[in-house]
Chains A and B, each alone.
Chain A
Amino acid sequence: MRTVAIAWQQDAFESSSTLPPIILLFVLSAALPQLAGAQVEIADSQESSNPLKQMTLEQLGNVQITSATKEPEQVWKTSAAIYVITHDDIQRSGATTVPEALRLAPGVEVARIDSNKWSIGIRGFGSRLARDVLVLIDGRTVYTTLLAGTYWEVQNLLLEDVDRIEVIRGPGATIWGPNAVNGVINIITKSSKDTHGAFMSAGGGSLEGGFLNARFGGGNGKSFDYRVYGLAFDRGPEYHPDRDDYDSWRAVQGGFRSDFAPNEHDSFTLQGDIYDEGAGETVTSVTYAPPYSQTVRGTAMLSGGNILARWQRALAEGKDIQLQVSYDRTNRQEPNFADHRDTFDVDFLNRFRVPGRQQISWGVGARSSRGTNPTIVSGLFFLPRTRTDALFTGFFQDEIGLIQRVLSLQVGTKLLKTNYTGLQLQPTARLLWTPTEKQTFWAAFTHAVRTPSDAERAFYLTGFSGVTVNGLPLFARFNANPNFRSEELNGYEGGYRKLIGQNVYFDVAAFFNHYSDLFSEDIVGAPFVENDPPPTHILLPAEFGNGLVGTTRGVEFVPQWKPLHWWRLRASYSFLQMNIRKSPQSLDVGSAPTIEGSSPKHEVTAQSGFDLEHGVSIDLTYRYVSALQKLKIASYSTADAQFAWHLRSYLRLSVVGHNLLQPYHFEFASDPAPNVGIKRSVYGQIAWQR
């Protein structure tokens, strides 16, 4: 065991030498266009006298333009580490799911566990449910209070209708809801005004057994627009060293969105989705009766639906009102546990300006989530079985223009109360300085909390340790902890963005986060003989506590360069240093190293996109992720490629390859073992639009 660990660490160390080829690649790809682009620079210098101004209107109408990087303008004046994944970015990545698309964002660690599961973290703390990350789809929170986090496999979308994904690293600004401790992922679909007409795409490949997407949209040409969509897919298993291919995934989903704007001030949105999925998995099933512990292979039956209504009244620039209500139904039936849940949510938001360059925003919200968890195996249960989680939230924020267009200060706080906590404040202060039109500095302090969930307060999770000498089985059980408090963060961050000329843009952000009362796994007493639940066994009592503290620090560097109108280069480098430890009185069993060791220290992404003639585009992506020490996942480098051909304005063919550099590689640990390898895969797609 010991020798394996040492050998592995050496390997991990050596693997850092795979970095130089990447750098070499970058230097080369940077140098080549420099050589070839000599006359481009001349053209640029001529532009200072602006030949466009000498043109007639007719000539002007025939000038071919480049689609400039619009993205920097969107994020330009945000005092947070924001990265926007646009519709175009998603399409060019060939991603078929939201988690795969999230690989494009810096500071986000996406590790595929198997065909239908991911571990996602922002600035550390990568885990299956990403409990410190708030995820919203069109303003609807999809974070579950059951086990704290997001079930990624049920957040499917018709990616064609996604307008953008905004990823905020670090504790979100005041306006976002609770649990946005390490980041916010805000998925925004297109208005139904922008999705008129029919769209269909279909494809399949080595892993994507087959998929079909369809949408139809229309409107009355004035105030009312709508769309309906449907999607279905069947995805095969990833690589299993033991050939137990349990993780296939199939889903059917449908939905609609309608937007109604009866006058210039008001707009109404009504949207909803309904889905049914089967996601293959293996789980550990623990019972107090023999066989005590076994690995069960089965299918998680996942179904549900949601509906959301939103009213917005825009009175003037910076003056508006928004009211949103939503309902979500979730059914989750796994081989060892089940959840049937109804969630209602209402949010009100108001923004207005007051003289003296101040913009005030405030809002209130409430959520009720009622869930039932019938016990399937005796080693995993919730008490009480049916519970209602409640959340009341409010926020107030004042944005003060200290020097017009140059310096602004944002101060605000969130107020939060749940059925498990008293009133908690989450204040933030953010400073934004834009000395010129082409550069931005920002700095922020935020206090944020991750609220207790049913997982800590109402959950009983048993593990089987073995049979003792006297013949009785020994179990360890995490009992519900009524004293579990919120996890707390004090976050300090800052960033700088700069546009150099027209075509080079970079964004750098650095952070220092101080955490306290972090989730720990505590042994709280000596083993004793327990008769209930029967049969008689020995129990080691444990609970989830607040016994860890720690810090994280890191930097994300995101350069973009558009050397030519048909060529785009983008890269990102994320560095993360985690230092998590037991607090002095903690009874933690030693979970800190696992938390530290579940996030990569270095991540590199490099993308090169070419728009060639005849509607052909080629996109290449290279990824490097350093080792996950504690999970014994080695560092890896891999690449994706997409070749797309716009045959006609309404017809697009594409071939996408993912994870091309090796037959398979490991990205995260599976529970239960063994780990699942993520395969090299290829798929083809035909998309038609009218």
Chain B
Amino acid sequence: MAKVIGPVGIREPALRKSAFIVAIVALCALYSSAQEARPTESQVEAVYLYNFGKFVTWPDRASQRELFGICILGKDPFGEVLDATVNGESVGGKQTKVQRLSNVEEAGSCSILFISAAEEKRLPTILAVAQRMNTLTVSDIPDFAERGGIIGLVKQKDRVRFEVNRKAAEQSHLVLSSELLKVALRVVGK
């Protein structure tokens, strides 16, 4: 009985096997030196959010906003990353300001509105309100541009690209630069 349950027979092979695992870990660590650190999806998306402002012209009405509001509607996927990216920057001569909203009706001061994936169900309402406010809508909700959003962020394997809905932009009276359209993975609503 004691022989069956005693760990005596386990200990030494366990050490040998640990050594084997350590060897694998070491090999992989060496392999690592050839690689460099990559940014996270949130970091890239945050930079996109801020960058899009440079390629869009807002109608005069919206230009009266004092600050360049970058807003997140619903559950915030960025956390500190967005603030760190945007703080102290200005777009079109206006100081940027990050705001977090729980209701789209609060988006009056937002030049750019990022719609959290958690809001997917309310998308039609959100887009209708945002259009009235001449706000650039951005989201990583699947088929966002197809579904009437202006810029949809799309994850392609390990890269983040974007799709544009030109018609949705026109309806919001936003003018998209040709460079933005050129780089877009896909342009819908031509």
Contact = CB atoms under 8 A, between A and B. Distances in A.
B122 interface: yes
B14 A18 contact: yes
A61 B162 contact: yes
Given A62-B159, A612-B31, A639-B17, A261 B121 contact: yes
Interface residues of A, number: 77
A55 B159 contact: no
A14 B44 contact: no
B35 A564 contact: yes
Nearest to A54: B47
B2 A8 contact: yes
A64 B160 CA distance: 8
Interface in B13-35: 13-15, 17-18, 21-22, 24-26, 28-33, 35
A610 B28 contact: yes
A11 interface: yes
Contact of A18 (B10, B33, B121): B10
Given A264-B124, A612-B31, A634-B7, A61 B38 contact: no
Interface string A558-581: 000001111100000000000000
Interface string B163-183: 000000000000000011001
A314 B47 contact: no
Contacts of B80: 437-438
A56 B2 CA distance: 69
A200 B3 CA distance: 44
Contacts of B93: none
A267 B120 CA distance: 12
A57 interface: yes
Contact of B39 (A63, A317, A660): A63
Nearest to B147: A222
Given A40-B36, A65-B44, A261-B121, A634 B6 contact: yes
B95 interface: no
Interface string A45-84: 0010010110111101111111110000100000000000
B58 interface: no
Interface in A1-18: 4, 7-8, 11-12, 14-15, 17-18
Contacts of B4: 241, 666
B18 A22 contact: yes
Contact of A8 (B5, B42, B48, B160): B5
B184 to A, nearest CB: 9
A86 interface: no
Interface in B70-104: 74, 77, 79-80, 84-85, 89, 102-103
Contacts of B25: 25, 28-29, 32, 608
Given A62-B159, A317-B119, A73 B79 contact: yes
A622 interface: yes
Nearest to A660: B17
A52 B18 contact: no
A316 B17 CA distance: 55
Given A438-B80, A637-B14, A620 B50 contact: no
A65 B36 contact: no
A265 B21 contact: no
B11 interface: yes
15 contacts: A7-B6, A14-B7, A15-B11, A25-B22, A36-B29, A52-B43, A61-B185, A64-B158, A65-B159, A261-B121, A437-B80, A564-B37, A565-B37, A635-B7, A637-B14
Interface of B: 1-2, 4-8, 10-11, 13-15, 17-18, 21-22, 24-26, 28-33, 35-44, 47-48, 50-51, 55, 74, 77, 79-80, 84-85, 89, 102-103, 118-119, 121-125, 158-162, 179-180, 183, 185
Given A50-B85, A622-B21, 16 more contacts: A4-B2, A8-B2, A11-B6, A11-B8, A25-B22, A28-B22, A40-B37, A57-B183, A63-B38, A63-B159, A65-B39, A66-B158, A68-B41, A438-B80, A661-B10, A661-B14
| Top 8 A-B pairs, shortest CB-CB distance | A68-B40, A32-B29, A15-B7, A634-B5, A11-B6, A66-B38, A52-B47, A565-B38
